[in-house]
Structure 1
């Protein structure tokens, strides 16, 4: 029965736990003597369906311990189930399966004697599933909204002379499940705090605090609505007083704000409490303003003088204004840029029960990576998360717990669900209205657009006219709506996965629509992803009407699992026998489940960093430092600079004191000789925070930028004459020798079979054409049939099983102290030997250097390849890796803005990137040379002509492609070295636009070369 959303619950409100009137103003609500936690170990019984909840079942001895908060599906009772759009069962709304797992929770508690005579409330902050509550064998009520609190007045049910017994019966599925069809795990059970609190018989039922600012930002205007209520007989008068304190505890008002309610009924002359609203107003001159960059919080304390004496409650307050004008979202009168992510509540060990410590890690990591906004996708997140956003400084889109994705066009028009739509928006707003971090209310996600949304929007605008509304479904082009529509329900154009071309076209058009464009989801971060993020940010910075967006999403939703051999991995849809499922589509975050950053997060950090550096003169001696903040100076940062020449540092220093105001710039002079250092030169400037912040210690790197400087010609290296190259030809091999260096070619396969110095051989298998990569999630999902994706096309061409046929091998030149061998292969994966022709010419020079020139000719019907290059297998032991190119993290042609040119040192082992679904990784671009050596520093040097791209791994492409989990991979001792002339960009096609044209491989002929040398020490 969708119309019945809850029974006997208290009206939603902002939670204010009372305190005695004495004590500190910033007391922790958790320490209030009028709050009693019921978190901890409960008794639990899982039954197969609701009608099995009988007296006999409850009286039995099958109860097991369970942790609350915590999903039962994460504690050995049933399993999680992952679907994206489809429902996990076949029924049509509002029907659910008869076999409906039902969890029964039981908890016994006693009450302190001094709670006697007070009003007592049971608070359940979040329960996934329809929850029926019983106390001391009495039915109390039930509720269905899994992500906002349900409260019950249990004053008349609790007892003080004996222990109380609380029972919660939770049905996994209900008619509400159809509007909680979000893209995450279906879990079950009580996943947020459960507690009791006690109030006086006259009490603060709700508190609404609006901290506005005047148009000139010079005055703070505090408007407060105190809603009172009472049980039993109240006194003749009730007095409310309030005070505001700054961050140092100083009172903002000379006298407390106050109001008195007289409880006399005007007609009958008898006392009757009628839930009055007392309005208070105060003014603060020159207030500190709240923003994500300057999250200044005041403390508002309200005291209610009730029958038992004064009691007070408190909340944090931030003065700020929000407005939309001229296609821009303004905070405190300034246009802001949303540098955001979408965030679900998720723990890999406890599911939807996210600890405070993990939430703090989330926000610290976000701030460390310059993120300034978060969308609570797709439901109100844990309330402590909003406390952190207020304190640390993040803009928030708070989103109602509504997603009807499987019945997208239906439930938004279904009158049976109107009340649920409206109440869920109300539940969110009433719970969260006092948080300054919230700048937009969202009506939900991917639920179509219909009259139910109009009703919810009408309520939202009445409850809180100070904040704009957000709802993507009303403007979704994917679903037949228009970006010009939906004005009654959304005050921003908030598409998901719109292309750069689309948003630029919208920004360039003339329109009377005042709404800005903020992408609610973009740059889908599934696996090795986030290609062309720099192109999005170029558009955001060029067009004022484009104000950024929220990357999908923050965290991979992998669940920690252990196989039979004790190996730990992160599981995804289907790993628990959950059918139907959407496989690894739930693993699409910028961080792993343990919050370790993906390489793409460094790209995002760089693109949204608060400082930009520009050359004033080409020599690099004068720089313009641009403050990209909206509100803060950059005086909290220290800067240093360094010049490298051919990757080697040649000069460095510190920047003068930084002071640029927000949006302004300052010019600084470097103590740098314009001609310092010879060779290819780059200037790198780095910015560190001077002092500790809530999210990072002193010295944390906030921003960096690298700029090319004019190249200074180096003195040519002297040519050292060597002995002439000796050529030996036998029926089975061709050998070239230059001093101690040899190159041996297998005549039958046409491959370089051995290369090294003296008796050392560095190569197990010589270079062969490679046009395949272990598919990324954007190329196509391994566990889905996606014929429209590149992976399907590449597999049809047989790129993953390429065969090589030798056309010829011959010695073609022996002169000038050098000798050359030319090899031609045809290659195909589908028995069409014209697909690829690879001509490679090896020339061994007298100094021992082996240069390789490659020509790859691609058949007429083939284009848009994953890569064009060669792959060789190197001998075990070549573990130490150095390269001069972009690094240190992975980078690709469409995701390399953050990667710096330099000489980087690592190991082959550390090139592994453990994406939950194994796939292509470890790639580096713009490489001048690389060096692979053993523990004695002997090994292989490869130089570009002039550059190449590479990866060096202990896994083959085939290993990675076949594996479905990290535990399916066993590192090999050998090194798989890919040298690429070109490598397809990453794009975001798993959910969004494909790789841009300029980052695809569309040519019919590729020519590239490189130089190999066996070495016995570091190069350079």
Structure 2
């Protein structure tokens, strides 16, 4: 029997040094990042001759470290969500195992001390074997976990040193790293050589508690060698292991991330720390930080960049943290592995609560009903406990880390229990979380994914379905609840955010949740003619893939906020500003431990979308959790529809945003629009051969279609029911509407003209719209009149004829206008898109965008760009002139350079090209968006029934 390959081992790395905290030390450190020599192979059993220092690698390529080799032309990226791309036969992997051999030569800098040294790999996917100067140091496993090797005996103090590494794409570790992301390989985090001085500090553990009743702090710093702990700001100078009681400290929280600079030193090494005093406890079934119940306004974050994959830079991480803070996010779950250590330092500094997750997921075993699941296979116990140990030891000193997570979607089993036992014994200061075992036997926090609003409310009330075991049921009912993934942010959406947040803020047991997820994982690509787009699963020739399910973030891959992130910012507002109904406002402070002195409150009054007055409100420093009533300012008279907008903005610069950054806002109607006046006596119809002239419009006398409006060629109206399905309509892991709609024929409706009636003062056109092979349809009646010589009125009445099941995708009318009309102004909700259950961040105002700007570039083209609550809109051209539409009641507006059918056919935005016309769609309603791409569908109030509807519009030439 042949010997098992080194990468097919259940055991943790046998020669790796024990895990320890990631420390900032003054001991010499040499970064080995840069261009390494690289050789790629399709198998892992190539010769090992490259490991010796004398090997000639002149003919090898060069590859950056950190990086993924697939993103530099070696092999190709592949994406699966759940399914493993290799047979389930642990610990074996296919013979076709893409492999990268690396070599890097370096010299020690002048002054490098003799003595011990450590070679550290911060991350290598999926397993690596390491040599230094021909001496094998060991192997790594745990792709997103640090591994250190003793390099002392192999290191040459003079002359060249050569590190040689063989990295394989598939290893035994791949079975427990099935984490809904691109399969990407290589040394993707930094490699460092660390001097380890005699008498130096190997490991440090900080315990910094806070007593919220007295304001006192307790500090104990332990190290693996005697040392002195100094915190100059607090006057601390103590020995390691000594507990120092401080009568008054400022605590750390996500809102006020107070850190104290500290050092731990011996005669040969000093480690710098940033200490945050805080205490995490579960008290009475509620998770508290510093004695106050915490409410997670969270996101799940994968590490990602569209060009570098998971080889993220500090600037990428800083961009993420700043954007989170700017959008009212206060918590991050590090799905589904420990992040780069610098990210946690930024969370400490800027203020974000962190659920730090172990590098573990075995989701694909669900495809075989969890047979052989590593979470319950005793052969895997040592490896999984080792992964938890390395997570906790590396990240234990971060005040931002308030919960440990055992991993994600790995079923249940004995090894999870072993991980929990180890973590609880090692660090009793932080509760444990793991979602997939709903008995919660091994954890302290109850968590679930993608529950409906009704299910979440039942948990909030303590009325969830019981467990079969009464003892476990009672234990779970005493736990706080965290919605660890909800509101799947794939494509257009997610909808229904406000309904979840209302529950989290109502029931003490519900302590918020984490939206899935932070960023789309689209990889930057180009068409043959050089146009840029973002690629998803299947774009690299994968036989097995999960398509664009990898694009499910609140940010586009280039870190541009999506409309969904703007909605989330609104829902997550830590300050609520509401009209009281008696001429005032209520301002509620939803912060955990901050007043409102850091905010200014500004108001703006708009009359028909035009600003007519502005000023400031005196609110005062409202304590956390408290509310205050504020009187409205004296407002000038207005003549049209008036709105008062009140904004809470930063009073001074913060590290994450400048003064004036909006934190929260509300808009209060002050004066309703004037009621529509009865239309005047219509202008008479004039016949002109086969045409009918009516005010500024010209209709085809045979079809009843509008063919000209003033000097502009027009084609319409045409009843529009279909929308290009959203990711939530397609619902790969939810209740899909798209197949129901296609089965009903809503994507292939036929239009049959029933009759055209030309009267003395108007035209009535009746059309039946229905799919083939169905007796159900819609009757559309278009009633035309001209209330003035320069205006054309259109009333569209839609009735259901026969059995047409709902909900409908949308219901409106579409016009084709000349393509050079490419600018849009409207008075209504904006500036962003809005659907019945989205657009929470929009406000009524007067807005302007080009037609191109109105398109939201979701990675997979789909319904987008609708503006809601529109009172009037004008579509004009750069040379002046155009068309204006007014509604006697607000309508939905979509303006595109292509049709909904073209949008439906496209697989990438680069498949779309303007067709020479501007397509104007005016709707009476849209179906909601929901979150069914992975989770619940559209809530009942936001469904669009197949029911009678009316649009009452007025068109005129500009």
TM, length-normalised to structure 1: 0.89
1:244 aligns with 2:231: yes
Aligned counterpart for 1:570 among listed residues 526, 534, 542: 534
Separation in 1 of the partners of 2:869 and 2:525? 39
- Select the residue among 697, 702, 709 that pairs with 1:755: 709
CA distance in 1, matches of 2:773, 2:701: 23
CA shift at 1:1013, angstroms?
1.7
- CA shift at 1:317, angstroms? 0.8
Once the two structures are TM-superposed, the CA of residue 226 in structure 1 deviates from its matched residue by 0.9
Secondary structure of 1:929's aligned partner: strand
Residue 803 to residue 454, structure 1, CA distance change in 2 (3 Å): same
From 729, 747, 763, the counterpart of 1:800: 747
Deviations 1:20-39 (A, max 9, x none): xxxxxxxxxxxx5x110000
CA distance in 2, matches of 1:16, 1:652: 51
**Aligned to 1:595, what secondary structure does the other structure show?**
coil
Out of 330, 343, 346, the residue aligned to residue 385 of structure 1 is 343
Deviations 1:145-193 (A, max 9, x none): 1111000011111011321111011111011101000000010000111
Is 1:707 the counterpart of 2:704? The answer is no
Distance in 2 between the 1:947 and 1:854 partners? Answer: 14
Question: Counterpart in 2 of 1:589?
Answer: 553
Measured against aligned partners, the alpha-carbon deviations of 1:571-613 in whole angstroms (never above 9, x if no partner) come to: 1111111221111100000001111000111111111112211
Match 2:851 to one of 901, 908, 912: 908
Cα deviation for residue 363 of structure 1 reads 0.7
Q: 1:967-978 to 2 correspondence within 5 Å? A: 967-978=910-921
1:610 to 556, 574, 577: 574
Q: In the alignment, is residue 472 of structure 1 matched against residue 430 of structure 2?
A: no
Q: Distance in 1 between matches of 2:892 and 2:50?
A: 69
Conserved in 2, the CA contact under 8 Å of 1:954 and 1:971? yes
Matches of 2:701 and 2:56, distance apart in 1: 79
Alignment-derived partner of residue 24 in structure 1: none
1:218 paired with 2:201, answer: no
In structure 1, C-alpha distance between the alignment counterparts of 2:346 and 2:24, rounded to whole Å: 18
Q: Which residue of 2 aligns with 1:526?
A: 490
Unpaired runs of at least 5, structure 2: 1-7, 464-473
- In the alignment, is the contact (CA less than 8 A) between 2:67 and 2:308 conserved in 1? yes
CA distance in 2, matches of 1:153, 1:787: 50
C-alpha contact (below 8 Å) 2:460/2:503 kept by paired residues: no
Which one of 897, 904, 907 corresponds to residue 964 of structure 1? 907
Indicate the larger mover: 3-12 or 791-800: 791-800
Equivalence for 2:700: 745
Aligned-residue offset at 1:720: 8.0
Match of 1:313 among 265, 268, 271: 271
Does residue 400 (structure 1) correspond to residue 387 (structure 2)? The answer is no
- 1:451-530 to structure 2, matched below 5 A, reads 451-475=414-438, 485-487=439-441, 489-509=442-462, 513-530=477-494
**Shift in alpha-carbon separation, 1:719–1:104, aligned structure 2, 3 A:** closer
Give the superposition deviation at 1:669.
3.2
Q: Secondary structure at the match of 1:385?
A: helix
CA distance in 2, matches of 1:17, 1:321: 24
Question: Which range moved further: 353-362 or 608-617?
Answer: 608-617
Q: Alignment partner for residue 824 of structure 1, among 763, 766, 780?
A: 766
For residue 312 of structure 2, give the secondary structure of its aligned residue in structure 1.
coil
1:368 aligns with 2:326: yes
Aligned partner of 1:36 among 30, 43, 58: 30
Q: Which has the larger radius of gyration?
A: 1
Return the alpha-carbon distance in structure 2 between the equivalents of residues 671 and 73 of structure 1: 60
Change in CA separation of 1:941 and 1:762 when aligned onto 2, cut-off 3 Å: farther
Corresponding residue for residue 469 of structure 2: none
| Superposition map of 1:162-311 within 5 A | 162-214=159-211, 216-228=213-225, 239-245=226-232, 250-253=233-236, 256-258=237-239, 279-305=241-267, 310-311=268-269
Determine the C-alpha separation between the residues in 1 that align with 2:50 and 2:827. 73
Report if the CA contact (8 A) 1:243-1:257 is conserved. Answer: yes
Measure the CA separation in 1 of the matches of 2:391 and 2:855: 43
How many residues align structurally? 931
8 Å contact from structure 1 (residues 324, 514) kept in 2: no
Distance 1:848 1:725 in 2: 13
Deviates further, 636-645 or 186-195: 636-645
- Deviation of 1:72 after TM superposition, in Å, equals 1.0
Q: 1:217 Cα shift?
A: 4.3
Q: Structure 1 residues 217 and 131 mapped into 2: Cα distance closer, same or farther (>3 Å)?
A: farther
Does the 8 Å contact 2:210/2:216 carry over to 1? yes
The answer on whether the counterparts of 2:10 and 2:91 sit within 8 Å (CA) in structure 1 is: no
Separation of aligned partners in 2, 1:737 and 1:347: 57
Cα shift at 1:70: 0.7
The structure 2 residue matched to 1:693, chosen from 633, 650, 654, is 654
Change (3 A) 1:718 1:892: closer
**Alpha-carbon deviation of 1:712?**
7.8
Q: Retained in 2: the 8 A contact 1:323–1:331?
A: yes
* Deviation digits for residues 393-447 of structure 1 (CA, Å, limit 9, x no counterpart): 0000000000001114322111111112111111100000000000000000000
| Distance (Å, rounded) in 2 between the aligned partners of 1:327 and 1:696 | 35
For residue 139 of structure 1, give the secondary structure of its aligned residue in structure 2: strand
Native 8 Å contact 1:745 1:754 kept in 2: no
Find the residue that maps to 2:747 and give its secondary structure. Answer: helix
Pairwise CA distance, 1:504: 0.3
Aligned-pair CA distance for 1:56: 7.5
Over 3 Å counting, the alpha-carbon distance change for 1:713 and 1:79 in structure 2 is closer
Deviation at 1:98, TM superposition (A): 0.5
SS of 2:728's equivalent in the other structure is coil
Unaligned runs of 5+ in 1: 20-31, 229-238, 259-277, 476-484, 1016-1020
Shift in alpha-carbon separation, 1:50–1:1003, aligned structure 2, 3 A? closer
Aligned to 1:119: 116
Report the CA distance between 1:737 and its aligned residue: 3.2
Identify the range of structure 1 (932-941 vs 115-124) with the bigger mean alpha-carbon deviation: 932-941
Secondary structure in 2 matching 1:7? coil
Distance 2:415 2:18 in 1: 21
Distance 2:424 2:478 in 1: 18
Counterpart in the other structure of 2:687? 728
Instruction: Point out 4+ residue stretches in structure 1 off by more than 6 angstroms.
Output: 716-722
2:287 counterpart of 1:323: no
Corresponding residue number in structure 2 for 1:838:
780
Which whole-Å CA distance do the structure 1 matches of 2:488 and 2:138 have between them? 41
Q: Give the deviation of 1:944 after TM superposition.
A: 1.4
Find 2:391's aligned residue among 396, 406, 428.
428
How far, CA to CA, are the matches of 1:939 and 1:113 in structure 2?
73
Partner Cα separation in structure 2 for residue 967 and residue 289 of structure 1: 51
**Does the 8 Å contact 2:50/2:164 carry over to 1?**
no
The Cα offsets for residues 459-489 of structure 1, whole Å up to 9 and x where unpaired, read as 00011000000100111xxxxxxxxx213x2
Within the candidate set 573, 576, 580, 2:544 is matched to 580
Q: In the alignment, is the contact (CA less than 8 A) between 2:433 and 2:443 conserved in 1?
A: yes
CA distance in structure 2 between the aligned counterparts of 1:419 and 1:473, rounded to whole angstroms: 21
Per-residue deviation, residues 883-902 of structure 1 (Å, max 9, x unmatched): 11111101111013221011
Pick from 633, 639, 643: which aligns with 1:678?
A: 639
Contact 1:882-1:906 at 8 Å conserved across structures? yes
Instruction: Give the deviation of 1:762 after TM superposition.
Output: 4.6
On the 8 A contact 2:704/2:756 being kept in 1, the answer is yes
Alignment of structure 1 residues 612-651 onto 2, 5 Å: 612-619=576-583, 622-651=584-613
The C-alpha deviation readout for 1:239-276, integer Å capped at 9, x for no partner, is 4211114xxxx3432xx212xxxxxxxxxxxxxxxxxx
Whole-Å separation in 2 of the counterparts to 1:889 and 1:638:
25
C-alpha contact 1:678 1:711 (8 A) present in aligned 2? no
Residue of structure 1 equivalent to 2:306? 348
The aligned residue for residue 23 of structure 2 is 16
